[in-house]
Chains A and B, each alone.
Chain A
Amino acid sequence: MKENQNLDDMEIVFQKTEALTELNFHYCPGCGHGVAHRLLMEVVEEMGITEDTIGVAPVGCSVFAYQYMNIDMQEAAHGRATAVATGIKRVLPDKYVFTYQGDGDLAAIGTAETIHTVNRGENILIMFINNAIYGMTGGQMAPTTLEGMVTSTCPYGRDVKHVGSPLKMSDLVAQLGGACYVTRHIVHTPNGVRKLKKAIKNAFEYQKQKLGTSLIEVVTNCPSGWKLTPRETIDFIEEKMLPIYPLGDLKVPTNISKN
């Protein structure tokens, strides 16, 4: 690049959303959390709802989500994010409320809260980051860990006879009366990113119309926990994760009002 090239003459094709703070993400290289954060907050900004949105961060690698998301945030105890979100939404019913949770947080220790929050049809968005492992605590088995997959607490591979099968939380909650929108996405392909962004937008739209709970599962990676390079994790997602956690809508609302 020439030194004197005038930046003002250049067209801006991408800018970091102001709904994210200036802080650099602490996530490992190649980790899906960063992309999911960005897409969520881009939608919040594009919809013009930053002043009306309150987020709930989990305990997990994304515990510091509140440092990156430039909106009012609460940090919940491990697994309790949807209960915290319920408390917020019940007293501020006209605000947008979301939780951002890992699979350990949402599908292990917080299973009861997840199911009952969705069953009540709380008008919130649950962002469910499924990386099939406990990232934060160093790569232990999660309820979503695949059969035969090696983690630090199933060093011989997940034995379903011993610890059960991968828990398909989205399929489970899609059965509940309060579920409005349940859908599964990825963040490792451009097309996946576009679709996820659209899904997040839909979810906030449904929340505005008070149609019930939206849950968006993001099937993603944990290079550090999986002990694979970021490139290798993409193959693992495609070849191993997606057959068990297939992409697409598990439930869509039937009573959307067009305005």
Chain B
Amino acid sequence: MKENMEKEIRLMKGNEALAEAAIRAGMDAYFGYPITPQSEILEYLEEQSPKRNCVVLQTESELASINMIYGAAGAGARVMTSSSSPGISLMQEGISYIAAAELPCLLVNVVRGGPGLGTIQPSQGDYFQAVKGGGHGDYRLIVLAPATVQEMVDFVFEGFRLAEKYRNPALILADGALGQMMEKVELPAEGSLPKVVPAWATTGKTKDRERNVITTLHIQPEEMEAMNLRLEKKYAEMQCEVRYEEINTSDAEIILVAFGLSARISQKACDLAREKGIKAGIIRPMTLFPYPSNILAELAEKIDAFLVVEMNAGQMVEDVRLAVNGKVPVHFKGRKGGMIPTPEEILVEIEKIVIPKQVLQD
């Protein structure tokens, strides 16, 4: 018996909130394989599926999961899979196929520290993999970076919406801390995201239409290039979907650029800096692809320096440097391997950049 959920407020763990949001967003099927720190997504969905009218299947591997996603998305269903870093690596071939076949689906990476088996502690070390392609060939994912449990919920709806609008896989790039922390969330009502079975789906060829074929094979290079150009055009059109949060930038002399959990910690560091009279602001990219390069380029004309804060060895900082194009210095503060930076250690970095300038002026 299907329950239809109304809008409600709950205290929830990030992973479970995301799973609940997926059902409310009208997800038809989920395929997944356990891995810490995101197994609660599969567990929650297995528990809910009998009463929520949603296919949930524990697979034999992430390789199987992503290819089931390909099949089910190709058959017109709204589908999601989730994993953490090593599992997402295993999916890369399939993700490339899904991007090439232009199938909408939602992928979730609750990132842990790497490389290798790494650690189960939170990290942002999969930024490159998420925004630069990850698998083989020229393709992009729509990448959303939540910073709160509420955004774990909201970006599920947004992810499905954008994936279907552009016929492109969307990825939520979270981290182990966001997956595990509990916060108050507002859950949208079930059925609030409209759904249509797409005309291109392989649902069985009826007499009134041509047969539908999902393929990624274009053996003639001319055809393949035409396909690449079409994808390129689509990725350019996605630029209008850029989203970011801007805090205290209007009078800022230094701007911190950070996403997800790093942005929350950077916010605290900025508050501490302001208490010390340093005019610090924040740009928090909410979409990592498309990337908010324009606002960074604009701000580069007005401020003295950027400080990029990440839980990795320096990945997004490259995109900030591309946007800023050498106009002002772009500094970097990173913690790696599952370590989380403290506001105080970020403040030390801010002071290293800003104080010497004030001393010079005095």
Contact = CB atoms under 8 A, between A and B. Distances in A.
Q: Are A and B co-members of a single complex?
A: yes
B5 interface: no
Contact of B205 (A64, A72, A80, A116): A72
A91 B79 CA distance: 10
A152 B23 CA distance: 51
Contacts of B28: 91
A85 interface: yes
Contact of A73 (B57, B72, B93, B213): B213
B77 A75 contact: no
Contacts of A116: 59-60, 64
Interface string B36-68: 000000000000000000010101110110011
Contact of B214 (A73, A83, A90): A73
B29 A72 contact: no
A240 B194 CA distance: 59
Nearest to A92: B75
A138 to B, nearest CB: 16
A56 B68 CA distance: 12
B202 A84 contact: no
A75 B214 contact: yes
A52 interface: yes
Q: Is the interface of A mostly helix, strand, loop or mixed?
A: helix
Could you say which of A73, A86, A87, A95 has the most chain B C-beta atoms within 10 Å of its C-beta?
A87
A72 B200 CA distance: 10
A14 to B, nearest CB: 24
A45 interface: no
A86 B68 contact: yes
A86 B204 contact: no
Contacts of B61: 112
Given A77-B94, A87-B29, A72 B203 contact: yes
Contact of A88 (B74, B213, B217): B74
A177 to B, nearest CB: 15
A74 B74 contact: yes
Contacts of B212: 72-73
A76 to B, nearest CB: 7
Contacts of B63: 80, 83, 112-113
Contacts of B217: 63-64, 75
Given A83-B68, A86-B68, A88-B202, A74 B57 contact: no
Contacts of A17: none
Interface in A43-59: 50-54, 56-57
B196 to A, nearest CB: 15
A70 interface: yes
Interface of A: 50-54, 56-57, 63-64, 66, 70-77, 80, 83-92, 95, 112-113, 116
Interface of B: 28-29, 31, 55, 57, 59-61, 63-64, 67-77, 79, 93-94, 97, 202-207, 211-217
